Amino acid sequence: MKAVVYDRYGPPGVLRIEQVPRPTPGDGEVLVRVRATTVNRLDCHTREANRSNGLVISGVSRLVSGVRRPRQPILGSEFAGEVEAAGPAVTRFRAGDRVFGNTGLAFGCHAEFTCVPETARVAPMPASVGLEEAAAATDGALNALWCLRLAGPLQGRRVLVYGASGAIGTAAVQVAKVFGAEVTAVCGPKGVEAVTAIGADRVIDYTTEDFTSDREGYFSVFDAVGKESFAHCRGVIEPGGTYLATDGPRNLLLGFWTSRFGDRKVKFKLPPRYTQQDVVLIKELMEAGSYRPVIDRVYPIEDVTEAARYVETQQKIGNVVLTVGDR
Ligand SMILES: NC(=O)c1ccc[n+]([C@@H]2O[C@H](COP(=O)([O-])OP(=O)(O)OC[C@H]3O[C@@H](n4cnc5c(N)ncnc54)[C@H](OP(=O)(O)O)[C@@H]3O)[C@@H](O)[C@H]2O)c1
């Protein structure tokens, strides 16, 4: 099968298209013919062994992905396609089913075929949703569900999403609305249109307005892009409220500290736990019209290097999709 492979950590140029053996599903696995996948920040961070995040994080990244070289030569964590074959013990899916999901750190989706355990993060594709949208549906939404749930019930609460134009941000705005929150979204000028279209109650362009001078406080401030800090946002968080983060070792320490001291809590928990039920929930939200992934660009898989370079600009609005094979 055709796949995008890499055998050393580095910039997007280490990626190349190759013919590799098609994987064989184990007893409880399905073989998925991938029709669409994405390039996301997890792919890019893993490909460069997190070098841009410093030596310590890079060391941890190599422990997870392979110390000298990547153990898994095929990146890509999101997929949409059809079940090509099912292992003998599989009961939930059969050949021909349209499915979507997320392989997480197992990766393997930048290829014509990938194997997924039937109990993993795979679900039937939402009705009347295209392959490109389904492929882009999970990364941001799983992250957003994981982080926003840490805040507790959000019904009727004011929530601010910072970095609302990214993959996690665009999903977080919609997930927070589903949880019943009143959502203020903060993004740069080029994200305003997209973020307004997905239902934010209020959109703040950070180049013209400083949300930290807002008089009304927020129950939760969610930094969906890893560019803010608890110290900077603390003044707009209500007593008893939370600061939610997507990354940053300092947020782990602050989480520990504020769980004991202070009336505003930092909530950040590793490793994230995403379940098949979460993917089923994402399917249901899409079918109900409450969630749709924002797609910025679509590339054929042959242009994966260009797609990765674009994702690394950190300027994408929502998600970047790769199409695989003829459709
Ligand atoms: N997605 C993943 O798989 C993954 C995995 C692990 C960790 N994370 C972490 O999760 C965070 C977000 O990931 P993501 O994939 O959602 O990001 P993303 O889609 O790459 O975010 C891109 C968006 O962020 C906005 N942005 C860039 N700099 C900003 C700033 N200083 N302030 C506000 N907005 C800014 C950009 O628009 P403007 O420049 O116009 O504002 C752009 O729309 C990151 O911290 C990442 O390391 C992501």
Note the pLDDT tens digit of each residue in 270-312: 889 999 999 999 999 999 999 999 999 999 999 999 999 999 9
**90-107 average pLDDT score:** 97
pLDDT at 326 over 80: no
Predicted local confidence at residue 108, as pLDDT? 98
139-190, pLDDT tens digit by residue?
A: 999 999 999 999 999 999 999 999 999 999 999 999 999 999 999 999 999 9
CB atoms inside a 10 Å sphere around CB 327: 10
Predicted local confidence at residue 84, as pLDDT? 98
**208-222 average pLDDT score:** 93
Ligand 1 is surrounded, with C-beta below 6 A, by 40-42, 139-140, 163, 165-169, 187-188, 190-191, 224-227, 246-247, 314-317
Predicted local confidence at residue 53, as pLDDT? 85
Q: Which of 139, 225, 296, 297 to mutate to test the pocket of ligand 1 (most atoms within 8 A of CB)?
A: 225
Q: Please tell me the distance between residue 85's alpha carbon and the centre of ligand 1 in angstroms.
A: 36
Predicted local confidence at residue 302, as pLDDT? 98
Work out the pLDDT band at 327, boundaries 50, 70, 90: low
* Dihedral of alpha carbons 29, 34, 38, 39, sign: positive
pLDDT at 322 over 90: yes
pLDDT above 90 covers a percentage of the chain that reads: 94
Work out the pLDDT band at 47, boundaries 50, 70, 90: very high
> 213 Cβ partners below 8 Å, 6+ apart?
none
Q: Using CA atoms, how far apart are residues 322 and 249, in angstroms rounded to an integer?
A: 31
Atom of ligand 1 nearest to the CA of 318: 19
> 8 Cβ partners below 8 Å, 6+ apart?
14, 69, 70
